[in-house]
Amino acid sequence: MAQRLDPATRDALVERVRFYRDLGLTEFYRRPVDAARLAAWAAAAELTAQSEQAASEPDSQPLQITHASNLVEEAIPTRKPISAPPATGIAARPADPAAALVLIREEIGDCTRCALHKGRNKLVFGDGSPVARLMFVGEGPGADEDAQGLPFVGKAGQLLNNMIAAMGLKREEVYIANVVKCRPPGNRTPEPDEANTCTPFLFKQIDAVRPQVLVALGATAATYLLGQRQPLAGLRGRVHPYRGMQLIVTYHPAYLLRDPRQKKEAWADLQIAMRELGLRKGAVSS
């Protein structure tokens, strides 16, 4: 008999099961799984099937995505100039990466350097391990992130958490930041002058953490990390040498929520990251 779950655990497990199934993953476990957890997974799988059956009913409501709703997985359309990242500066990781991040946050302060400060509630600096081997870079805060001051905490964040878990990692083991630290109005794509003003802080964060692998989530992150506009299709599926690190480009989780058919492509990209990190293919942390 399936174990009774509290609603939050049930929703998280349903999302996790759905995500793994979309990736084509079935049952790979890195750690032994006890009977109670197996029962919970079975219940989640059952709920996933039930919710998808309900979603196929004609009167079902479409999925509402509140974060990055304007995000398009193409090159940034404007022809305004994009600043290139620091050309060299392959510095060694600072002796105290956590202290370096604190200094960068202090330097940003109550920032008014670009127009995005006018609409923000909370500045979203970054989150995760200062000594992470893997770092994700997204576009900018959405409504949930703006309210909480943390990156990727809404629906797209839940999907990113599942992507991280599918890699056999925990969210607290990676570092997550965005191209801009304040929410663009209506979740629009940041303007080049906004992104160019904010990215020096992102580059400092990258230099503080010095991850082995950087994953650019979506076209905006890829554009400003690489300093060039290119369609996402031409950037995915390979490793870009990046200032002494490995850069991999994949879809933004908000885009994957809109078009779940691309999850397998995203998983292929993440497997490249796993290979670079020496992580076991197909290992799923329960």
Is 181 one of the binding residues for ligand SF4 (CB under 6 A)? Answer: yes
Among 182, 208, 232, 274, binds ligand SF4 (CB under 6 A): 182
Among 158, 197, 220, 223, binds ligand SF4 (CB under 6 A): 197
Per-residue binder mask for ligand SF4 (CB under 6 A), 26-55, x = binder: ------------------------------
Q: Which stretch binds ligand SF4 (CB under 6 A): 36-44, 64-72, 194-202, 253-261?
A: 194-202
CA 125 to centroid of chain Cα atoms:
14
Nearer to ligand SF4, 48 or 205 (CB): 205
Query: Could you tell me if residue 243 is left (phi over 0), alpha (psi between -120 and 50 degrees) or otherwise beta?
Result: left
Is 101 one of the binding residues for ligand SF4 (CB under 6 A)? Answer: no
Distance CA 283, CA 170 (A): 12
Is 117 one of the binding residues for ligand SF4 (CB under 6 A)? Answer: yes
Nearer to ligand SF4, 141 or 168 (CB): 141
Is 116 one of the binding residues for ligand SF4 (CB under 6 A)? Answer: yes
Among 10, 21, 105, 113, binds ligand SF4 (CB under 6 A): 113
Nearer to ligand SF4, 21 or 204 (CB): 204
Binding site for ligand SF4 (CB under 6 A): 108, 111-114, 116-117, 123, 180-182, 194, 197-198
